[in-house]
Amino acid sequence: MTCQARSSYMDTEVLWGHRFTPVLTLEKDFYEVDYNSFHSTYETHTPVCCAKELAQSRREGQLLGHLP
């Protein structure tokens, strides 16, 4: 089976605050792949600012960059 690996993405392809749905499960000592969920994502709590701004706001005791 062939596989494609990507090392970069277009900005329109990135969903901020989302993670991929797990597709691997262990069934009877073998891994099962759920191809129906391969492109599925789910939303997570993610800061609305970059990591540098979040760390700075936490050092300063501000609420900037709070989670939605």
pTM listed for this prediction: 0.55
Residue 55: which pLDDT band, with cuts at 50, 70 and 90?
A: confident
- Domains held by the chain: number: 1
Question: Is residue 65's pLDDT more than 50?
Answer: no
Question: Is residue 15's pLDDT more than 70?
Answer: yes
Question: Which candidate, 22, 67, 14, places its Cα nearest to that of 44?
Answer: 67
State the Cα–Cα distance between residues 8 and 60, nearest whole angstrom. 34
Q: What is the pLDDT of residues 23-47, one digit of tens each?
A: 999 988 999 999 999 889 999 988 8
Question: Is residue 13's pLDDT more than 60?
Answer: yes
- 40 within domain boundaries: yes
- 27 within domain boundaries: yes
Residue 49 lies in domain? 15-58
- 7 within domain boundaries: no
What is the token pair recorded at 54? Answer: 């979040």
For residue 49, give the amino acid letter: C
Report the pLDDT value the prediction gives residue 62, as an integer from 0 to 100: 66
